[in-house]
């Protein structure tokens, strides 16, 4: 190999990561997990991500959610680590067609790969009194559901109350989440993506913070 050929080889783009092996079946299974998580706030729902090896820092579970929920009509916002990756943007554009927007308030969905440094929840589209369902759904990656800090949840889909924990999160996250829920029917929906499962907090969920 000549020096020129070697340089060209090193500069070649990595092949685009594949999407779902069985797009219809896999997307349906993931969609059921999302619906179950929304219907039972705080519950953990398994998400299969068969053979998904998306470019980092996009995780397989988050990739499965993106392939299931995004399309040409769902503007997407990415946090800085995801936006900095050309491979991530290429993967999402190719497999979902979702337009990537520059401001959180413009997005129907947001992917946050670094939740500890995420922008305030109030920065996302909160919906309007006339169209509350136009609000954003924010997906937080890399979640550990064994985190020390817990909150108590109540509301639709919860019998009496339930305890929920997840992390990493910004120190002020739960204060922001409480303020978000008080806007109902406006406010954003939250999906927490772990290593193999998800949990969700729709905006109708009432949140009572507890001490860490």
Sheet order of strands, 150-154 included: 162-165, 150-154, 206-209
- Is there a domain that residue 79 lies in? yes
CA–CA gap between residue 145 and residue 164 (Å, rounded)? 8
In this prediction, residue 4 carries a pLDDT of: 44
Q: What parts of the chain have a pLDDT lower than 50?
A: 1-12, 212
Residue 132: give the domain boundaries: 20-209
In this prediction, residue 11 carries a pLDDT of: 41
SS3 content of the chain, % helix, strand, coil (to 5): 35, 20, 50
Tokens linked to 144? 């550990």
Give the domain CATH number at 180: 3.40.50.11310
In this prediction, residue 20 carries a pLDDT of: 87
Number of structural domains in the chain: 1
3 state SS of 87: helix
- Is there a domain that residue 13 lies in? no
| Beta-sheet strands, E only, within 42-136 | 45-46, 76-78, 100-101, 109-112
Is residue 195 within 8 Å of 188, Cβ to Cβ? no
- Is there a domain that residue 24 lies in? yes
- Is there a domain that residue 11 lies in? no
| Beta-sheet strands, E only, within the chain | 45-46, 76-78, 100-101, 109-112, 137-140, 150-154, 162-165, 189-193, 197-201, 206-209
CA–CA gap between residue 154 and residue 41 (Å, rounded)? 8
- Is there a domain that residue 14 lies in? no
pTM of the predicted model as reported, rounded to 2 decimal places: 0.91
- Is there a domain that residue 46 lies in? yes
In this prediction, residue 13 carries a pLDDT of: 65
In this prediction, residue 169 carries a pLDDT of: 95
In this prediction, residue 81 carries a pLDDT of: 98
In this prediction, residue 50 carries a pLDDT of: 65
- Is there a domain that residue 9 lies in? no
CA–CA gap between residue 142 and residue 146 (Å, rounded)? 12
- Is there a domain that residue 187 lies in? yes
């Amino acid at each position: 190999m000549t020096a020129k050929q070697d340089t060209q080889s090193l500069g070649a783009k990595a092949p685009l990561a594949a999407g779902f092996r069985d797009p219809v079946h896999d997307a349906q299974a993931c969609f059921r997990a999302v619906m179950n998580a929304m219907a039972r706030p705080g519950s953990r729902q398994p998400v299969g991500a068969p053979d998904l090896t998306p470019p980092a820092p996009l995780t397989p579970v988050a990739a499965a959610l993106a392939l299931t929920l995004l399309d040409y009509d769902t503007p997407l916002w990415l946090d800085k680590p995801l936006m900095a990756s050309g491979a991530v943007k290429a993967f999402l554009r190719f497999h979902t067609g979702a337009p990537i927007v520059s401001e959180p308030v413009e997005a129907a969905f947001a992917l946050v790969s670094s939740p500890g440094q995420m922008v305030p929840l109030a920065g996302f589209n909160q919906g309007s009194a006339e169209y509350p369902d136009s609000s954003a759904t924010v997906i937080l990656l890399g979640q550990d559901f064994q985190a020390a800090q817990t909150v108590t949840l109540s509301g639709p889909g919860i019998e009496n109350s339930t305890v929920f924990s997840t992390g990493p999160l910004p120190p002020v996250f739960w204060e922001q989440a409480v303020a978000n829920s008080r806007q109902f029917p406006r406010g954003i929906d939250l999906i927490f993506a772990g290593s193999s499962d998800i949990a969700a907090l729709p905006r109708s969920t009432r949140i009572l913070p507890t001490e860490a």
